[in-house]
């Protein structure tokens, strides 16, 4: 059987909140319709952009259920199951399977900075608890932990369901990863502004944050990169960069929430410590 292939382009969803800090269920349904209307081929649920670590385990399971109910069966859902406690990550992975999600993205526990051995045990426990395909997520900036190449290779060889790595820590290691694990092993980025450079290094795809507000444009860029049209993709990205850099400087989650609320897609509640945009930030967006 051929290994599972993650879509080369997916959009990392925010989690919509009501003004009383509860999950905005109708907002989830409207968001899914928005993504479908804009030809988004796959969604990343409850990742960093979805504020996974500000959500309780029960809230995350509820979100899994809501999104699967809102999304058509053919829309792939990749579900973030990272947790500080291994048993929580196991439960989340099992619930992702039970609620009909397509695959999981397994990031590493933030803040606790496990050793390579401890991180491997964490991954092994989750992989042993579910048959879903797995994308590991190496993001040292957010977690304080860096997955070493030897650990990755050992895990992939032990658990063939690990078919992809979302890599933000060592983009220059892609060639070595491909040499060890083969060309079919996918490497994805989560950084929109550097995606043309990353494809040149050997990356295969993007879980896009900017795709929330520029879904068609980012999809076109990834499709061009996938077909070898690097120069054309670079020109399209260059045209978007001033906007992307401005929005990133304000804060993507806050900007997306502000935009979706203004369009009537979500209620527009915020979960502290994140806050609504200031008047100055709103003015910058209008320029």
Sign of the dihedral defined by the CA atoms of residues 99, 255, 55, 142, in that order: positive
> Is 84 inside any structural domain?
yes
pLDDT at position 172, please? 83
> Is 4 inside any structural domain?
no
Average pLDDT, the chain: 96
Q: What percent of the chain has pLDDT over 70?
A: 100
In the chain, the largest separation of any two C-alpha atoms, in whole Å, equals 55
> Is 277 inside any structural domain?
yes
pLDDT at position 169, please? 76
Look up the CATH number of the domain holding residue 48: 3.20.20.70
Cβ atoms of residues 137 and 82 within 8 Å: yes
> Is 244 inside any structural domain?
yes
pLDDT class for 207, splitting at 50, 70, 90? Answer: very high
Task: Say whether pLDDT at 173 is over 90.
Answer: no
pLDDT class for 1, splitting at 50, 70, 90? Answer: low
Beta bridge partners of 208: 11
> Is 3 inside any structural domain?
no
> Is 29 inside any structural domain?
yes
Which residue bears the tokens 């490497």?
Answer: 187
> Is 2 inside any structural domain?
no
Cis peptide before 273 (omega within 30 of 0): yes
Domain extent at residue 88? 9-286
Which positions are catalytic?
Answer: 137, 166
- Total number of domains in the chain: 1
Cβ atoms of residues 117 and 148 within 8 Å: no
> Distance between CA 254 and CA 248 in Å, rounded?
10
Alpha-carbon separation of residue 229 from 1, 146, 233 (angstroms): 30, 32, 6
Cβ atoms of residues 166 and 7 within 8 Å: no
- 49 labelled ligand-binding: yes
Cis peptide before 109 (omega within 30 of 0): no
pLDDT at position 177, please? 94
> Is 60 inside any structural domain?
yes
Q: Tell me the average pLDDT across 148-173.
A: 94
């Amino acid at each position: 059987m051929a290994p599972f292939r993650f879509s080369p382009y997916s959009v990392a969803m925010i989690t919509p909140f009501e003004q009383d800090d509860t999950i905005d269920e109708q907002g989830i349904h409207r968001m899914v319709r928005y993504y479908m209307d804009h030809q988004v081929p796959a969604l990343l649920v409850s990742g960093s952009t979805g504020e996974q670590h500000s959500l309780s385990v029960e809230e995350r399971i509820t979100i899994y259920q809501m999104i699967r109910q809102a999304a058509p069966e053919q829309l792939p859902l990749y579900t973030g199951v990272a947790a500080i406690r291994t048993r929580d990550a196991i439960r989340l992975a099992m619930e992702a399977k039970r609620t009909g999600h397509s695959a999981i993205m397994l990031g590493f526990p933030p803040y606790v900075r496990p050793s390579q051995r401890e991180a491997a045990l964490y991954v092994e426990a989750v992989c042993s608890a579910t048959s879903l395909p797995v994308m590991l997520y190496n993001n040292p900036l957010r977690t304080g932990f860096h997955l070493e190449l030897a650990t990755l290779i050992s895990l992939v060889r032990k658990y063939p369901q690990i078919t992809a790595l979302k890599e933000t820590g060592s983009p220059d290691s892609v060639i070595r990863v491909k040499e060890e694990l083969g060309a079919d092993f996918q490497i994805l980025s989560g950084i929109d502004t550097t995606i043309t450079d990353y494809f040149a290094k050997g990356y295969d795809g993007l879980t896009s944050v900017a795709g929330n507000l520029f879904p068609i444009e980012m999809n076109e860029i990834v499709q061009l990169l996938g077909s070898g049209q690097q120069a054309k993709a670079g020109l399209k990205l260059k045209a978007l960069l001033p906007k992307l850099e401005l929005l990133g400087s304000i804060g993507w989650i806050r900007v997306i929430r502000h935009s979706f609320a203004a369009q009537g897609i979500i209620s527009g509640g915020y979960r502290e410590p994140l806050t609504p945009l200031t008047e100055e930030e709103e003015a910058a967006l209008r320029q």
